Every structure is written in C-alpha cells, then in structure tokens.
Structure 1
Amino acid sequence: MRAIYKIARLELSNLFYSPVAWLLLIFFTFMMGMTFAGALEGFARQQELGTRGLYAVSQNLFYSPKGLWPQVSQWFYLLMPLLTMGLISQEFSRGSIKLLFSAPITGFHIVLGKYLGIMLYGLLVVGIQLVAVVVAGYAVEFFDWSAVLTGLLGLYLLYGLYAAVGLFMSTLTNYPIVAAIGMLALLSLLSLISGIWQEYAFTREITYWLSLGGRVNSFIKGLICSEDILYFVIMSSMFLAFAVLKLELLRESCSFAGKAVRYLGVFVIAIFLGYLTSRPVMKVYHDSTYTKANTLTQASQDIMAKLDGGLKMTTYVNLFGDIYNTTTKGIKRDIDRYERYIRFKPETKMDYVFYYYADTTTEAFKKHYPEKTFLEVARDAAKLQNTRLGKYLTPEEIAKEEIAKGIDLSEEGYRFVTLIERESGQRSFLRVYWDMRRVPNETEISAALKRIAMKLPCVGFLSDYEARSMVGTLNRDYSHMVTEKTNREALLNQGFDVRDVSLKNNPKILDSLDVLVIAEPREPFTGEELDILYRYVESGKNLLVAGKPKTYSYLTPLMAYLGLRFEPGMLVQKPIDEFPAHVMLCTVTDSARNISRLWKNLYQITHRDERRRYSLVMPGSVAVEQVSDKGFQVTPLLTSRDSLAWNELETIDFVNDTARLNPLVGERAGVKTTMLGLEREQAGLQQRIIVLGDADCFSMGEFSTSRRGIRSANGNLIMAMFDWFSYGELPIDVSRPSAIDNALTIGMETGATLKIVLQWIFPALLLLIGAVVLIRRKGK
C-alpha cells in the first residue's frame, strides 16, 4: 500500500505540474459556469418578470436533457482522453518505465497507484461540480438534494471508468495521442456494442450488459441501481486488470496463446459477474427523487403485489406490423419498457415470437405488390429491416402457435401485441396505439395487469331500438371510445370489461354489469323492458342515460322513475364565431369539482384561464332538471357557460336560420344543466347515475370533428365519468406528488452576479493559481 500511495502522490503532483491538467480544469470550470449559471439566471429573470411560473427547478438545472449533468457526461467523453493519454505512455517515451520495473514493485502497484492519483484529481473535478450544487441549494426553495447528488455519484463512477479505460490504452503505446484516439475508439465501441449480435440469444445478454450507453443516465435521473454501480466497478476493474497484465507481460516471456488466455480469463470473469448482477432478482434500487419519478406509482405497486405466482409476457411481432414494430435485434430495448414492473416481480418471464403475415387477398396488397409472391415480399421486408426472414415464423407456423396458445391474432389485426398470462390461467392483451407515443404507458400496462389480478368493472351498452352502439362504425356510435383497440383512451384499453346488452334477447346479462349505458333509443321500451330497467335501478347498480332533443321522449318513463325530465326544445346559447347556436360549450360546476380526482382535473382544464380555451362540447343538447325527490343526492355536473342559454322551441334550421329568444312561447334564458349526477345508498351499494342531454358528446362523429377556435375536452369527460362510476378504480391513478422546488430565493441581480462569479471569476482564479504553480515549478 505504501508503494501505491507514493505512486499516487507522485502522479497527482505531476498532474498539477502539467499545463494540460490545469487547462482542462479551467475549461471544465468555465463550461460548467456558463451552462449552470446561465440557466439559473434565466430562471431568476423568468420568475421576477412573471412571464411564466417555474416548475421542478432542480430537475431543469441538473438532470433534464439540457441540464448540467448530461452536459458534464459529454464533456468527460471529450476531455478524459486528453487527461489520461500520458499516464503510462509517457513513462515509456521518457524511459522512466525501466526505473519502475527495476524497483521492488509490480505492475499492480504501478497501475493502482496511477489510477488512485487520477481518481484523486477527479475529486477536485467533483468539488467544482459540488460548488454548483451548493449554489443551487442556496438559490432554490426545497432543493432536491438527494436526486442531484445521485447524479454526481454517477458522474464520478463514469469518470472512474473513463480513467481505467484511458490508463489501459496508455499501456499499449508510447505515443500519448495514439492512446487518446484509441480510447475514443474503445468508448465508441462500448456505446454501440448493445446493437451487436442482439438477434442471438446466447450473446444478447453479454453485449447488452457491456454497453456503456445510457448507464449514467439512471444516476442523472435520480435512480441508484445495484446493476449500474456494479457495472462501473466491474468494467473499471477489468480494464485495470488488463493494464496490470500488459505491464506484467512486458517483464516476462509468454507465448501469444498464453497472453490471450490471461486476457480472456479476465474478460470471462467480468462477463460472468456482469451477467450475475444483471439478473432481475439480484437488483436493488433506490429512487432518490422527491416525486419518485423512476418508480411505479403506488397504485401500480398494489397491482403487482396481487400478482402472486408465475407471470409471463409473450410479445407477438408481425414483420408487416403497421403501428409499432421491432426486430430480433431490439428485444432487450423493448424489455426495458417493463423494467419498472420487473423490479417488483423479478421472476417475470419475457418471450418474443416473430412472424410474418399479411392478407394477400386485399386489393391494396395486390396493387402494391403486383408481380411478387408473398414470400418474396416478406424477404424484401426483412431486408428492409436489416434482419433475416429465417428468424420469423411462417403464416402456417404462427397459425399452429395460435392454436397451441388458444388465441386469435386476427382479432388484434395481426399487430404488435403482448399476451400477459398468469400461472393460474388468467390472460390479458396489451396493445399499441395510433398516437404519437405508440407504446403503452404505465396507465395501460397497469390496467392490463389489473385485469388478470382482480375483477374489474363491467360496462354494458344497450343495443336495442337503434341505441348508440359500442361496436358500430356510424358517426353516432361509440366504438372509438369503448372498443377501438388502437385507441389508448378506449374503455377496453383502460381496464374496463365491455359488453353488448339486449333486453329483448338476454335481459339476464344485466346481472353481470356494474354500469349500464342507455344512449338515445329511437323507439319506446315495452312495459316488460321498463320493469327490467326499474329492477336494475333498484338493485343499486350504476347507470348512464343520454338523450337527444328529437328522441328524448322515449326515455321519459325511465327519467320519471329517477325523478328527472328532459326539458322540451333544443338547448341553444349565444353563437360563438360562425358556429351554430346549438353547439353548446359547457363547463364543469363547482359542485362537481370535488366528487373525484378526474372531475377535479377536468374542472381545472376548463377553468384554466378566463378564455377557457378548453371546453366540453355538446352539439345538440337538451337540458336536464329534477322534478321530484326519489332519494338521490343530485349534483349538477355540467352547465351552460353562462346565463344566456335557453330551450329553443321555434327554430329548426340552426344553420340557415337564427335562433332568437322568444318569451312569448315559453323560452326562458338562464344557466341550463346539461349533465346531472345522482348518488344514493341502495341495496348495500353506493349507486351512481349520470344523466346527460347530448348522446353525441362522446360519439365517433364528435371525436372526428374539428372546430376552429374550440378545443374539446370531451375525451377527458369520458374518463371522468367512468372513473366516478368505478369509484376511482379505473383508469389507473398514476399521478405523482407535485414537485415542490418551484421557486427561487434570488432575483435577477443576484443571478447575474452568480453568473459572473461562476463563469468568469472562478475560472480566472484557477488560472491564476495554475500559473503560479507552473511558474514556481519552472523556477525550481
């Protein structure tokens, strides 16, 4: 140890007597001051001038993509080759390596001593970064210390790995510049190696674990994972061992095969330890962020806790998938999307089945590929994705797989889909969606897992008498928000079970429902059917009733049973721009704000500012009112935006004619209610009923309509209604605590002063100290 300490002290002194080390330190300090202090001053100016509120300042300063820590990791990549290129190569070029070899020390002492010296220099680099952390702790209210310091820990581990790589490369050549170039090449290889041989199961785990790319990002984001810590320790140790071997082999005679065996032995040991520590069951995590942004929310953790027994996720990937796709080379990256879930159930098995299938009988296929067989088309598609068709099952083979598994991929459109299976036999599909994100987020993944963990609410849609259908494709139907598998917000993808209900053919199905939806039937119910509906209401289960101005009369008996009625006429309000008067813009009431978390969110969305850029649109509604007390607690949920609304009884054509208030025919202006919520204790259940005056507000036609100047929040309305019906069970609540570091304790002047100090004075002070040290050294 004494020899290692002496070599480390000598190496550290040599660094401080080197202009290169001082220049790199000054450059690093200047860049840090410019990046950090510039951002801090910008936030101070933003807060003082009140242009926009601040949010999560700690994250924006340090661990956001444009924060300080990602920038530092990039600077290390460029600066470390210059710092380490002469650690041992200079000993060769000067001839001083002979003195070291003649001393009573081994290559182990030389390598460890020099590595210790460069790591002590790294503590100075960390100290400079710590200055920025301390300044931020002073300037930011409720600063997120733990997350920021976790990022600093990761950067020091990255520095240590770079130092080990640079030390090894400097043993391979007498020329420092060659060592620097070689280090850059090796680091590039370590960053890109995750994409090598990923299609082979044997090498997939090895090359993916070896990859340096993104390793430090988990620390920067505030997550400490034992695998990442051990990766830096193992890889640093491996390169140090390589350096020791290189020096020792210079002092003894050994065949090429003997040298290769020793190097290979070190590599194999490192790979074995890496594979062992990367197993999910071996990993330990700590999320140091205040909001626990790197961890599943509590709701998702509760779901995972209920999934006892084995769990398997089989992903079926069609070569001709049209929404989202991956190849055999991207399996590990796709598995990373489930890392947070595997953390809480490490025994989860992940499997991938690749196949190719397309409907060759369609005119589109024949037109696109007029002169090729399907096999030729598949080969071309595989080449286009830089993979081999032999890795994919044929249509016949995937058909056998479907039979063996008891699934039908045609129901999923042969798209990218994941089958989740429990050991007990429950199954659920997890899909991809036609939107910007494509892949499922925590909400959808947890909903799919919850479906196999427990019984979820079942929603039935009445289909008798031409009521709005949950599977129809007409503009008036509801399939987009209920059963459309490629729509992320569809009830089916949010965990709800949905069923078609017919009072004529199978009235007993109501016994299995938790919510019944009756949306604008176009014929009256029979007396027997009304009795069935009345018994359903008396059973205490939930109900949604939606009407329209021309057909609401068919719901009159049921409405009377609830103590309500639809007011006659078409509800209109003062026209907005060029839109007809019957296009109602509604708002969430104050009384609805507190009935659930999503109703509160909806209230905030529609009341965000005085302009109310987001509205709840009802294109043709009737007003709803209570006429008798049936034991319900009645809550107005949506009303007209102002008191200038009335029931129009005369105008029929709202496009070519103008609706005018006429008190003589009974039209009265005021705030009109378009949605009511009813609640009571009934049959041992907390019964909830919603009645709304526009069955179109969540139809396919409405969601495909765009109106200039109006932003619809109707999608949020659907989620809020069914969240209330399910008592907050669905959609999954993945909300997190809000960040509290949302303000600065400094103003613009202090921010500007700190920028001058950190960007100019601090580097200038280091320049002065370095100049004095170097001049004194030269004098000696």
Structure 2
Amino acid sequence: MKKILRIARVELSALFYSPIAWFLLILFFVQVAVAYLKKIETLATSQELGRALQNLTFKVFADPAMSGIFITGVLNNLYLYIPLITMGLISREVSSGTIKLLYSSPVKLSHIVLGKYLAMLVFNLCMMAALVIVAVFASFHIEAFDWGMILSGLLGIFLLLSAYAAIGLFMSCLSSYQVVAAIATFAVFALLNFMGGLWQDYDFLRDLTGYLSISGRTENMIFGLLNTRDILYYLLITALFLCFAWFRLQGERASVGRWIAIGKYCLVVVVVLVIGYFAAAPGNIGYWDTTRTRMNTLSVNAQETLKAIGKEPLEVTTYVNLLDPTYYAGRPAGRNTDKRRWERYLRFKPNIQLNYVYYYDSTYTEYVYKSNKGLSLDDMARKFSKSHKIDLARFKTPAEIQQLVNLRPEKNRLVMHLKFKGKSTFLRTFEDMQFWPSETEVTAALRRLTVPLPVIAFLQGEEERRIDRLGDRHYKLATSEVNVRTSLLNQGFDSKDLYLKGEEEIPEGLTALVIADPRAAFAPEVLQKIQRYIDKGGNLLLAGEPGKQDILNPILQGLGVRLMDGIVVQGDTEFSPDEVKSFVTSLGTEFGRKVTQLHREEVPVNTRNVAGLVYTGTSNFNVRELLHTNAELTWNKTGKLALDSADIVYNPAAGDVKQAIPTALALTRNINGREQRILVTGDADFLSNVELGKSYSKFGNANFYQGFLGWFTYGQFPIEPTWPAPVDNAVTIKGTSITPLRWIMLGVIPAIGLLMGTVLLIRRKRK
C-alpha cells in the first residue's frame, strides 16, 4: 500500500506542478458557476415578478428541460477534461524512457496501475470540490434545499469520472504519443455512450450493448435515484479497464503468447458481463430514492395495487403493427427503452414478464393507404419491412394475429395486453404528446385485473347524449374512445347504455347514473324508476341545457333544485355571448387534486350554452355550489337568444342583473349507511366530443370531469398518483445580490485557485 501511495504522490506532484491541472480545474469551476448564476438570476427575477416557483433543487441541477446544471453544464462537457489529464499517465513514461526504470524497480505492475489511478481519483475529488462549492452556494440561495438529490448526483458524477479515469489510464498504455492516447480515450467514451443504440434489432446483442452502454446511468443518480445495478456497472467498468491496463503492462514487460493474452482479456470481459447480468436482473437490484418527495418512486396507490396482485406473475404482451404509424414507438430497437419505462413497476414486482409480438394488419390511418395506393396488405408489409430494414419473417400475418387476439377494436395500433390469473385487459397508448400511458393509466389497468370495476350508466331513450358516437354533442371521447387518455375506459371504469322503457330496472351497484340533456319528456314509469334509484341513495349526474328546463325540472324539484328559465350570457367581446366560463368554488378541494388545482389556479371550465341553477334549501340534501360564473361579466337572459344579430348588450332596464350564477351544484346526504352524491349542471356540453377534442384547450373540462368521477367513487377511481409536495419553492436571494455573487464566484474563487497554482509552480522552480 505504501508503494501505491508513493506512486500516487509522485504522479500528483507531476500533475499539480504543471499549469494544465490548475487551468482545467479553474475552467471547470467557472463553467459550472456561469451556468448556476444564469439559473439563479432567472429564478430571482421570476420570483420578484410574482411568478410561482416549485421544486427548485431539481429544476436548477437536474431537469433536462430546464437545462439543469448537472445535466447540461457537467455531463455534456465532462468527457472533455479527463483525457487531457490521463493521456500522459503511462505514455509520458514510455516516451521519456522512465517506464524501464519502473519495470526494473521492485514495484509490482499492479502498484503502478493502482498508484496512478489513485492519483486520478484525487484529481477527480478536486473536480467534485468545484461542484460542492456551487451546491453550498445553492443551499443558501434555495429555500429547503434538497441535499439528498444533490449528494446522489455528486456520487453519480464521481463514479462516472472514476470510470473515465480508468479508461484514460488504459488508453495511455497503448501509445507513447499523448495526443493519440487522448483521441483514443475520446473514441472509447463515444463508443460507450452510443453503444446502447447499436444492433438493437437483435435480441442477444440488444441486451449486451444495453448493459455495456454508459448512457443514462449517471442521469438516474442526478435525478436522485441510486440503484445497485448502475453503481456496480461503474465499479465493473473501472475494474475492467484497470485489468486491461495491467495486462498491457505485463505484455510490455515480458513477452506473452498472443492467445494467452487474448484469453486473459476475454476472461475478464466474461466475468464482468456475468456479474453484471445477474446484478441487473429484476429482483436483484436495490434502490434508494434520495429525493425528499420520492419523485422517482411509484406513488402509494400504485404500490398498493402491485402489492394486491401478490406473487403471481403478471404478463405484459406488447403488440406492434408494422403498418401503423405507432410502429416506430414499439420497434425492436426500442425494447430497452420500453423496459426502462417498466422499471418503476419491476422494482416492486420483479416477475412482470415483458413479451413482444410483431405483426402486420390494416391500419386506421388514412394517409398510409393514400401513399400506397393499389398495394395489398402483403405488398405494403414487404415495402415497410424493407424500408425499416427488418426481416418480414419476424411479423405475423393478419390471419395469424387474428388467431391470437382480436386487435381490431384497438384500431390495430400499439397496445399492451395484460394477463393475470385468467383475467386480461388492454393498456393503451394515446393520441397526445405523451403517447405512453402514465402511472395513472397503468395503475387503472392493473386494478381492472384485481378489483370490481366502477360502472357508470348513461340513460338512453329520451335522445340523451350517446357514448358510442363521435358527433359534436355526444360523449364518446369522455367514455369509450380507446385512444383518449381521459376516457372512462382508460381510467378504470366501465360505461354502459341504460334503457328504462319497458321492464329494465336500474341495476344495483351502479357507481353513478348519468342523465345528460334529455330532449323528450320522460315517461311516467321512467320517472318512477329514477325516483326509486334516488330514494335508495344512488349517485347521479343530471346535466341540463337551456330551452329544455321543463324536462329535467320534474326530477330536480324533489332535490330542491331548479334550472333557471333563460340562458346565462357573458359580456366578453372576445367570445360568443353563450361561451360562458365557470369557475370552481372552494368546494373543489373535496374533489381531488385536479379540481383543487383548477380552483387554486383559477382555470375556468367551459360551460357553453348553460342554464343557471337555483336551489331552495328545502330538501333533505346539503346543497353546495361547485361551479359559478364571474359576477362582473355574466347575467341571465330570458327569451330567445339571437347570436347572429347584434351584440348582446347588458340592459338593467330590461331586468338584467350581473351576478355570480351557479352552473353546477353538489348535493349530498347520508342514507343507507353511506353518503349519497348528486351533481347537477346547467350544461351538458362541457363533456361533449367537441369540447374534449380541443387540441390546446385553455379550459379545465377534462380535469373537472375526472374530479367528479372520483367524487362518485369516493376517491377510489380514477387513480391519482400523489407524492409529498415539494417545499423548495422559493429563492432567498434578491436580484440586486447577483452582481456581488458573480464577483465572488467568477472572480474571487478562481483567483484563489490561480494563486495556489502559481505558488506551487514558483516553489517547484526554486527547488
């Protein structure tokens, strides 16, 4: 050990008695400091302008979308520093001839390798000191700084530097030219970084290159997630290249047969791969989420759902259609990425079996046929497989896939089929920017396999809104459309039509009955059935529309509620007068996280063509307002509303009164041992296809819908993954303090480093 320390000390003396080490350390600190100053100045300015800040430790240091310092300022440039230091570790000895003295000295080759590597670890610690200094400044500037995330990130960066140092040491053994050693080191860094994208179409090579790839591992630690697989990877890669360096020096010191040398290299590689393979197997990986909010861990709801499944295996089969545009997301080359998406779940249930089936069949995307006119499915499959450079024999034909599973109702697009104890359900991808199912949809699909599903029945027979049609006024997007994320189908619900004319009764166990915009009067027997359902304590959504108040009012009068005559109009010249915005009241905090957010951020719900509500308070229900309009802009207008004539003008002389008009009421009472919940709205369009189909809606209709669904299920569905709220939501530094801070970080600290380096260089010259 003494010899290793002595070699390390000599190497450090040579390193720090030259200007290059000091120059690189100062440059590295300045680079990180500049990135930090830009971030903290932007945050201080935003806070002073009254903008809300949140989760600042993550955003400043780790968030790729916000150019987090550890991601863009460190990882993207770290590879530039190490080769400039390691390129002379051995090559300098070879070119100067001192390597022969080392060979003839009573020093083992392992001592040389470990001594020089230890010197590099000390230099790495000096680089880490630069990051620690910035983190310490941040701990004073960010309220409730999350040190757990930062320490995890620092460990990840140090392990990466250590692996880089081992690679650089080996490359330095290969040539007496330092520049060649540096270039070779850059090449290996690039190879390890991009290896995860090589030969991904082949199963065996995909797993091999996926494990050898260095990409993404440090990012996990920067995000605050430590795991034994990634830590062991860095230790194994470090050991691998240190062994390579030792073998190289052995070959230089004494002649060794070619096959013996190759055998030693291969043996070390095999040992590393075997250890890594078993360490990376699900169930063998240990995790530690170091963040305060446990942001890298499944929510409690998801964990409990996986726990309820038990030890029985869960099979997940992904079906990928070559002819559908979703093929690119599920292509064989993307399997490792897909496995990383499932890792959050594999952490708590290691026996999730991920299978993949590739096929070709018809697609519901019209442009595919327009650009391939006259081609049969087989011809298109041959063309597409050739374009994707993949063997068509890997894909099942339409007849073969139909024998396995019917994917036509799923539009033959990428979908996952979950199987558990003889039950099955589909986990879908969606036509939005996120595409893949979130934890909410995954957990909802898992619950479909384990618990009775909540059922929402939609009354039919009086021309109500339909759940199977895509017309503007209907509700298919909200209920049964397979590729809409917020539809009932993908949030863990079952929806069904219900006809009450005849002998059919309202079934027992309904989560809620929906009566949406009936256009024809109810038959007496239908009214009686609805009243019996209410009397028994059934949950209910009643959605009316202006002009048809007399149809719903017979049901509402027993609840102490009435739809107002006329229509609510809004005096906003930017929109049509009937385009009324309704806002969530403080009652929204009882309707889950999404509706609470609507209330807190004052995001309106679009209630177009809405009737106001009045309530008497004479019923057995506790009636509270859930939505109301802006008191300064809205009033109720009786009579016919002509939108194609002159602008609607507020006219107090005609009886117009501006006021906050209730547009949604929540009714509750205790009956039969539980709380009965009824929601009454003066608008049925807020759930319509045309409203939910808006691509960039500024309204909160979808969130409001999910909120009152959760209210009907007493919080069981839809799943709301929740984590502790972040508390690092403010900066303690003022904008006026940035300039002094800039002088300290970019002037004083680099000057101290420069002074230390100058003193050492002068002392060396005097010696």
Could you state the TM-score of these two structures normalised by the residue count of structure 1?
0.93
Match of 2:27 in 1: 27
The answer to whether the aligner puts 1:490 opposite 2:487 as a matched pair is yes
> How does 1:236-385 map onto structure 2 within 5 Å?
236-308=238-310, 309-323=312-326, 325-358=329-362, 367-385=370-388
Secondary structure of 2:302's counterpart equals helix
In the alignment, residue 734 of structure 2 is paired with which amino acid? G
Displacement of 1:67 after TM fit? 2.5
Shift of 1:481: 1.2
CA contact (8 A) 1:649 1:665 kept: no
SS of corresponding position for 1:697 = helix
Q: Are residues 395 and 604 of structure 1, via their aligned partners in 2, closer, same or farther at CA, if it must alter by over 3 Å?
A: same
Residue type at the aligned position of 2:68: G
Q: Does residue 1:59 correspond to 2:80, yes or no? A: no
Match of 1:610 in 2: none
Where 1:741 maps in the other structure, the secondary structure is coil
The answer for the alignment partner of 1:584 in structure 2 is 580
Find the counterpart in structure 2 of residue 711 from structure 1.
698
Are positions 1:653 and 2:612 aligned together? no
> Which amino acid is 1:576 matched to?
D
Q: Secondary structure at the match of 2:667?
A: strand
CA contact (8 A) 1:88 1:170 kept: yes
How far apart in 2 are the matches of 1:537 and 1:469? 22
Q: What code does the residue aligned with 2:346 have?
A: I
Shift of 1:617: 2.2
Does the aligned pair in 2 maintain the 1:194–1:207 contact within 8 Å?
A: yes
Q: Where does residue 575 of structure 1 map in the other structure?
A: 571
Q: Note if contact 1:443-1:733 (Cα within 8 Å) is conserved in structure 2.
A: yes
What is aligned with 2:412? 414
Deviations 1:28-81 (A, max 9, x none): 12222222234334434444x435343333223322222321222233201111
Residue 753 (structure 1) aligns with: 740
Secondary structure of 1:430's aligned partner: strand
- CA distance in 2 between counterparts of 1:729 and 1:244 reads 60
CA distance in 2, matches of 1:378, 1:15: 61
Partner-residue secondary structure (3-state), 1:465: coil
Instruction: Give me the whole-angstrom Cα distance separating, in 1, the residues matched to 2:512 and 2:203.
Output: 47
Indicate if the aligned counterparts of 1:598 and 1:723 stay in contact, CA closer than 8 A. no
Report the CA distance between 1:507 and its aligned residue. Answer: 2.5
Counterpart for residue 622 of structure 1? 611
2:538 is equivalent to residue 541 of structure 1: yes
CA gap of 1:563–1:51, structure 2 versus 1, over 3 A, is closer
Where 1:153 maps in the other structure, the secondary structure is helix
For 1:9, give the aligned amino acid: R
Q: Which amino acid aligns with 1:59?
A: F
Bigger mean CA offset, 476-485 vs 247-256: 247-256
Q: Tell me the distance in 2 between the aligned counterparts of 1:218 and 1:365.
A: 38
Equivalent residue number for residue 173 of structure 1: 175
**Which amino acid in the other structure matches residue 545 of structure 2?**
K
Aligned twin of 1:14: 14
In the other structure, the counterpart of 1:609 is none
SS, match of residue 226 in structure 2: strand
Question: Deviation of residue 706 (structure 1)?
Answer: 9.2
Deviates more, 1:8-17 or 1:712-721: 712-721
Alpha-carbon distance in structure 2 between the residues aligned to 1:23 and 1:288: 34
Amino acid at match of 1:347: N
- Cα offset, 1:753, TM superposition: 1.8
Amino acid paired to 2:305: I
Distance (whole Å) between structure 2 residues aligned to residue 721 and residue 73 of structure 1: 45
Aligned to 1:405: none
Q: Deviations over 1:261-287 (max 9, x none)?
A: 110000000000111111110111111
8 Å contact kept, 2:417–2:424: yes
Q: Secondary structure at the match of 2:573?
A: coil
Matched, 1:604 2:600: yes
Q: In structure 2, what is the equivalent of residue 398 of structure 1?
A: 401
Write the distance in 1 (CA, Å) between the matches of 2:244 and 2:611: 80
Instruction: Give the drift of 1:459.
Output: 0.7
Q: Residue 578 and residue 223 in structure 1: after superposition, are their counterparts in 2 closer, same or farther (change >3 A)?
A: closer
Q: How far apart, in 2, do the equivalents of 1:419 and 1:182 lie?
A: 46
Is the Cα contact below 8 Å between 1:11 and 1:117 reproduced in 2? Answer: yes
Q: 1:704 to 1:346 in 2, by over 3 A?
A: closer
Match of 1:727 in 2: 714
Aligned pair partner of 1:451 in 409, 434, 448: 448
- Which segment drifts farther, 542-551 or 580-589? 580-589
Percentage of matched positions with identical amino acids? 37
Query: Match for 1:302: what amino acid?
Result: E
User: In 2 relative to 1, CA 661–240 (structure 1 residues): closer, same or farther, beyond 3 Å?
Assistant: closer
Change (3 A) 1:50 1:648: closer
Contact persistence 1:38–1:755 (CA under 8 A): no
Q: Does 1:694 find its partner at 2:683?
A: yes
For residue 474 of structure 1, the aligned residue among 456, 463, 471 is: 471
Worse-superposed segment, 557-566 or 298-307: 557-566
3-state SS of the aligned residue for 2:605?
strand
Q: Distance in 2 between matches of 1:199 and 1:706?
A: 35
Of 678, 696, 704, which aligns to 2:667? 678
CA 1:652/1:418 → structure 2, altered by over 3 Å: closer, same or farther?
Answer: same
Are the equivalent residues in 2 in contact too, given 1:432–1:440 (CA < 8 A)? yes
Cα deviation for residue 94 of structure 1 reads 1.1
Deviation at 1:636, TM superposition (A): 1.4
Asked whether the 8 Å contact 1:327–1:387 carries over to 2, the reply is: no
Out of 152, 155, 163, the position equivalent to 1:153 is 155
Determine if contact 1:643/1:672 at 8 Å carries over to the other structure.
Answer: no
Give per-residue Cα distances to partners, 1:156-211, cap 9 Å, x unaligned.
10110000000111111111111111111111111111122322222322210100
1 or 2 for the larger relative contact order (CA 8 Å, sep ≥6)? 1
1:482-561 aligned within 5 A? 482-504=479-501, 507-508=504-505, 510-561=507-558
Task: Indicate how the Cα distance of structure 1 residues 379 and 732 shifts in structure 2: closer, same or farther if over 3 A, else same.
Answer: same
Say if 2:571 and 2:650, in contact at 8 Å, map to a contact too.
Answer: no
Summarize the Cα distance change of 1:701–1:363 in structure 2 as closer, same or farther, 3 Å threshold: closer
Q: How far apart are residue 703 of structure 1 and its match? A: 3.5
**Aligned in 2, Cα 1:263/1:364: closer, same or farther, shift over 3 Å?**
closer
Instruction: Judge conservation of contact 2:445–2:492 (CA < 8 Å) in 1.
Output: yes
Taking a change above 3 Å as real, the CA distance of residues 762 and 389 of structure 1, as seen in their structure-2 partners, is: same
Partner Cα distance (1:281, 1:43) in 2: 41
- Asked if structure 2 preserves the Cα contact closer than 8 Å seen for 1:431 and 1:486, the reply is yes
Task: Structure 2: give runs of 5+ residues left out of the alignment.
Answer: none
